[in-house]
Chains A and B, each alone.
Chain A
Amino acid sequence: MVSGSVSSRLLGQIPLLTLLVLCAATALMTDRFLSPVNLNNILVQSSIMAVIAIGMTFVIIGGGFDLSVGSTAALSGCVAAMVMLKAGIVAGVVAGIAVGALVGLLNGLVIAYLKVNPFITTLGTMVLVRGLVFLVTGGAPVEGDHGLPSTFVGFGSTRFLGLHALVWVPIVLLALLSWVMHATPFGRHIYATGGGREAAYLSGVPVARITASTYVICGALAGVAGVMLAARLQSGQPTAGEFYELTAIAAVVLGGAALHGGEGTLYKSVIGVFIMIVLGNSLNLLNVDSYWQRVAIGVVIIAAAAADSLRSRR
């Protein structure tokens, strides 16, 4: 009994241990890894993906799946840029996030109330939303005649308390949403819905509403990530965010969330994001062929899923 809980606690820390081993190994092999420029790069890259992965964790813990986040981020970034050019920064940011939430609401309503398979639904919205991005932008980057407002673009490169400003977004969101997940009835209802939908329903949990709201949160966070991306790229890029959904899902699984729902922790998904980003970074620094990088990342994803299935068999 005692040994079981110790070993399961150790199992729970596998994501963190993996990350540390990965960092240590890379640092030993190349001294460029620990250079301030590189570390800053990793943090900024991770921060945008972390926001998406946090949203994805909500959906996956609730027993769902969302493939549309990459397209949603692109749409939000472009809409934010377009609105910003006409009506100011605040309106742009709000519009970008709202568009993301709206896509999430569409996903949520179709999945929770029409009971359509989440994989298919979000595969549909993934394509649909990417189409919308090209329709509203005409396929060209959104940057106006004189670029996006300099305050907004500055947000993508200034520092606050020693850290890049973008890095603070996932830190604040993680703190706030971890608390929502663990200390509020809403958060516990998400876990219950994903862990046993019928049991949750028979305990009075409004399971359809809970499911729908996880997609709204996921969409809104994809919107936030899209706005961050626009600040970083100093424009709304219609092709941005491709394959983000795959990286985010892989990160959530690496972080130990169960793909069948009901289990997972937000901060561990963020650790999963770091694993993905650091892996890509270290392969780059070690001059590994980019085709081999894809192979390596694929292997990591499958290994994580295998670990998930081993865990649930215990």
Chain B
Amino acid sequence: MGPESRSTQRPVEAVLVRSLTKAFGATRALDQVDFTVSSGEIHALVGENGAGKSTLIRILSGIHQADSGTIEIAGRSVDFRSPREAIAGGVVTIPQELRMVPALSIAENLMLGSLPMKRRLGVLPAVDRQRMNAEAREQLVQLNLDVDVRQPIRTLSFAEQQLVAIAKALRRQCSVFILDEPTAALESREIDRLFAVLGRMKAAGTAIIYISHRLDEIVALADRCTVLRDGRVVTVSERGRFAIGDLIEAMTGRVAADQAGEPRVPGPELLAEESAQDAIQIHAGHTLGIAGLLGSGADAKVRGLFGAGSTPVAVRAASGSHSLLRQPGDAIAQGIGLVPGTRALGLVMNQSVRDNILLPNLFHLGSIFRIDRIRADALVNEMMDLMDIRPRRPDVRVGSLSGGNQQKVILAKWLARRVSVLLLDEPTHGIDIAAKMHVHALIQRFTQAGGGVLVSSSDLGELARLCDSVLAMRQQQIVGRVERADGMSEARLRAALERTR
């Protein structure tokens, strides 16, 4: 079993994980997991939230330590105690949320940790700005990013910042490169650019571990795919051996159902924006989508209709009455609920599930002097059953739930009020397939019961499945409209988005 005997049989793997086990309290996050990645391979890691992907990645990048099992990087046995050790060992991770220092320049962010130094007057140490900027520029040009590196990093788009993070990783001579949901916030052109960079890294022999909920990407990109479920490896398959349906089945243990249905006739108008052009109208029993990528203004549109935008929005309600939405309270009074794009904005994370569900409903449960605890508990229990929120414990901190369950709590807040209009911004961003299907089913049920839905999303497949009609939005303007009756598909939405008015 010595390392020598193994290396004579086959080439050394870039990453070789054997029987890795990690428990958090009573839950086994990873259970005897084997996982290998070769040099020059893009290896996809998929699974539902809670399947163990993040735990595996965190162990590889030194954030967590395994309970048992071994890890070898390029044939050398390692046991990373901190992210710093992992980086020194050649394992670099690009997290979902980039950690940049907004006020520092692009070059400073890129070189942070190894800033080139010089000595002023022969003694005083100082940052060599000229060399720093020159090196940074050179690095970024290699990734086809031509920007003024002296500008603060906050002037870059998310996709560009991600490229800076990748350039930073490349500087560190990494042999294993881990990307956690890198495309969640990218538009298709930016995804193409990212994939080109990954292709170059792969050709240079880097081992790439790629995590994504977007299965179409994985089918297109990955050489191999490992599916995790409940902390165990379910399957490992080679390129060409897996299709989207197989992956969903492996991840969830059940066959995926397509939800697209017949065109529906919109019911009476529930809420309409009163503006000269591009007015949004939401109808009962109808789901209206806004397709738009980061920076398109779709999210601002949704926030505005909730009275949380930069300027008040005038609307016409179901009764035909006119009102001005100045603050969320005004919208809530009109029977509107908002599920914001960032879950931290929808939930008070350090409070319990119970407190979060009750937050917009307190005045309806008793008087301003007293909350009726019995009615409140009944409402919370009803909602937790209806939404299938797990664990079924109202007193647990909402911050400790999985992303999918957190999203269900946000929906429960509003359904508990019996709102008639739901506004959703990226409702399934970063949540797993099973939770996504559940959220979609809930939206479907809400409209069948006569509610009206406005959903903004950058996931065009989701909009195509969910919506009766979709507005395409670009640079704060609506540039197209696709109806289910005319045939709705991801491709048609993409075409509508790329078209300029």
| Chain A, interface residues (CB within 8 Å), range | 20 to 34
Contacts A201-B308, A203-B360: A262 and B368 contacting too (C-beta < 8 A)?
Answer: no
Is B371 within 8 A of A196, CB to CB? no
The answer for the CA separation of A191 and B362 in the assembled complex, in Å, is 13
Which partner residue on chain A sits nearest B343 by CB separation?
A: A199
B121 at the interface (CB under 8 A from A): no
The answer for the CA separation of A202 and B25 in the assembled complex, in Å, is 34
Contacts A184-B368, A185-B371: A200 and B340 contacting too (C-beta < 8 A)?
Answer: no
B370 at the interface (CB under 8 A from A): yes
Contacts A4-B25, A195-B348, A262-B348: A204 and B368 contacting too (C-beta < 8 A)?
Answer: no
The answer for the CA separation of A195 and B355 in the assembled complex, in Å, is 11
Nearest chain A CB to B301 CB, angstrom units: 15
Is A201 within 8 A of B328, CB to CB? yes
The answer for the CA separation of A203 and B328 in the assembled complex, in Å, is 7
A188 at the interface (CB under 8 A from B): yes
Which partner residue on chain A sits nearest B372 by CB separation?
A: A183
Q: Which of A193-227 contact B (CB under 8 A)?
A: 195-196, 198-206
Interface centre among A4, A189, A199, A205 (most CB of B within 10 A): A199
A277 at the interface (CB under 8 A from B): no
Which partner residue on chain A sits nearest B351 by CB separation?
A: A195
| Chain B, interface residues (CB within 8 Å), range | 20 to 34
B363 at the interface (CB under 8 A from A): yes
**Contact among A4, A184, A202 with B308 in the assembled complex (CB-CB below 8 Å):** A202
A192 at the interface (CB under 8 A from B): yes
Contacts of B362 in A (CB 8 A): 185, 188-189
Contacts A183-B370, A202-B338, A204-B360: A188 and B355 contacting too (C-beta < 8 A)?
Answer: yes
Nearest chain B CB to A42 CB, angstrom units: 34
A1 at the interface (CB under 8 A from B): yes
Q: Which of A169-185 contact B (CB under 8 A)?
A: 183-185
Is A199 within 8 A of B345, CB to CB? yes
Contacts of A4 in B (CB 8 A): 25
Contacts of B350 in A (CB 8 A): 195-196, 258, 262-263
Nearest chain B CB to A3 CB, angstrom units: 8
Interface centre among A3, A184, A206 (most CB of B within 10 A): A184
The answer for the CA separation of A263 and B327 in the assembled complex, in Å, is 26
Nearest chain A CB to B322 CB, angstrom units: 20
Which partner residue on chain A sits nearest B359 by CB separation?
A: A203
Is B368 within 8 A of A185, CB to CB? yes
Which partner residue on chain B sits nearest A187 by CB separation?
A: B371
**Contact among A184, A191, A198, A202 with B355 in the assembled complex (CB-CB below 8 Å):** A191
B378 at the interface (CB under 8 A from A): no
**Contact among B345, B368, B371 with A198 in the assembled complex (CB-CB below 8 Å):** B345
Contacts of A202 in B (CB 8 A): 306, 308, 328, 338, 340, 345-346
Contacts A1-B26, A203-B328, A206-B329: A196 and B360 contacting too (C-beta < 8 A)?
Answer: no
B347 at the interface (CB under 8 A from A): yes
Q: Binary interface profile of B, 165-204, with partner A (CB < 8 Å = 1, else 0)?
A: 0000000000000000000000000000000000000000
Is B344 within 8 A of A196, CB to CB? yes
Contacts of A119 in B (CB 8 A): none
Is A183 within 8 A of B371, CB to CB? yes
The answer for the CA separation of A204 and B338 in the assembled complex, in Å, is 10
Which partner residue on chain B sits nearest A193 by CB separation?
A: B348
Interface centre among A189, A196, A258 (most CB of B within 10 A): A196
Contacts A185-B362, A192-B348: A203 and B413 contacting too (C-beta < 8 A)?
Answer: yes
Q: Which of B404-447 contact A (CB under 8 A)?
A: 413
Contacts of A184 in B (CB 8 A): 368-371
Is B345 within 8 A of A192, CB to CB? no
Is A262 within 8 A of B25, CB to CB? no
The answer for the CA separation of A262 and B351 in the assembled complex, in Å, is 8
A186 at the interface (CB under 8 A from B): yes
Contacts of B371 in A (CB 8 A): 183-185, 188
Nearest chain B CB to A5 CB, angstrom units: 9
Between A and B, 24 residue pairs with Cβ closer than 8 Å are: A184-B370, A185-B363, A188-B355, A188-B358, A189-B362, A191-B348, A191-B351, A191-B355, A196-B345, A196-B347, A196-B348, A198-B344, A199-B344, A199-B348, A202-B306, A202-B328, A202-B338, A202-B340, A202-B346, A203-B328, A203-B360, A203-B413, A204-B329, A205-B359
* A interface, CB within 8 angstroms of B: 1, 3-4, 183-186, 188-189, 191-192, 195-196, 198-206, 258, 262-263
* B interface, CB within 8 angstroms of A: 25-26, 306, 308, 327-329, 332, 338, 340, 344-351, 355, 358-360, 362-363, 368-371, 373, 413
Query: Which 8 A-B pairs have CB atoms at the shortest separation, nearest pair first?
Result: A185-B362, A196-B348, A195-B348, A204-B332, A203-B360, A203-B359, A204-B329, A198-B345
10 additional A-B residue pairs with CB within 8 Å, beyond A184-B370, A202-B346, A203-B332: A184-B369, A185-B363, A185-B371, A192-B351, A196-B351, A204-B360, A205-B359, A205-B360, A262-B348, A262-B351
